[in-house]
């Protein structure tokens, strides 16, 4: 079935470090891929998305590229800030489905 696997956390980085959070997926056809972020005490909000192969989603300095050949959608940021501390979720919608599938979430803590 459709599923998302993302790297285990928690991740702790120093401010201005480079961030990668790995995400791979299993789905038939061409799903749409998403990264959601959950700041402390809040619900999830969309960070970025990509709807077809080789698309790059970007927002707030974060980027992720839809790689069909490796079924991956890794999240990257060149220089993290303390305010990026949050839980990050990778997700997909199958192209024939009507529900979202989420990974287990990766907690990121950025220390000054």
Partner 1 sequence: DVKVTQSSRYLVKRTGEKVFLECVQDMDHENMFWYRQDPGLGLRLIYFSYDVKMKEKGDIPEGYSVSREKKERFSLILESASTNQTSMYLCASSLAIGTGVEKLFFGSGTQLSVL
| Distance from C-alpha of 102 to C-alpha of 2, rounded to nearest angstrom | 10
Per CB under 8 A, does 102 bind partner 1?
yes
Cβ atoms of 17 and 76 closer than 8 Å: no
Residue 11 contacts partner 1 per CB under 8 A: no
Q: Residue 99 region, left (φ>0) first, then alpha (ψ -120 to 50), else beta?
A: beta
Q: Does 105 bind partner 1 (CB under 8 A)?
A: yes
The 3-state DSSP class for residue 82 equals helix
Q: Does 32 bind partner 1 (CB under 8 A)?
A: yes
**Contact residue for partner 1 among 22, 24, 51, 85 (CB under 8 A):** 51
Residue found under tokens 């459709």: 2
Q: Is 88 in the site for partner 1 (CB under 8 A)?
A: no
Name the one range near partner 1 by CB under 8 A: 20-28, 57-65, 72-80, 99-107.
99-107
**Closest alpha carbon to 53 in 25, 18, 90:** 25
What is the binding site for partner 1 (CB under 8 A)?
32, 36, 41-46, 49, 51, 89, 93, 97-100, 102-105
């Amino acid at each position: 079935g459709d599923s998302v696997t993302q790297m285990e956390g928690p991740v702790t980085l120093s401010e201005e470090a480079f961030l990668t959070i790995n995400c791979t997926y299993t789905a038939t056809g061409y799903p749409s891929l998403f990264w959601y972020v959950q700041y402390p005490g809040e619900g999830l909000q969309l960070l970025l998305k990509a709807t077809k192969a080789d698309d790059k989603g970007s927002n707030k300095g974060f980027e992720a590229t839809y790689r069909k050949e490796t079924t991956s959608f890794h999240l990257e940021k060149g220089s993290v800030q303390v305010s990026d501390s949050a839980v990050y979720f990778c997700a997909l919608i199958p192209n024939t489905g009507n529900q979202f599938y989420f990974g287990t979430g990766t907690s990121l803590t950025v220390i000054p």
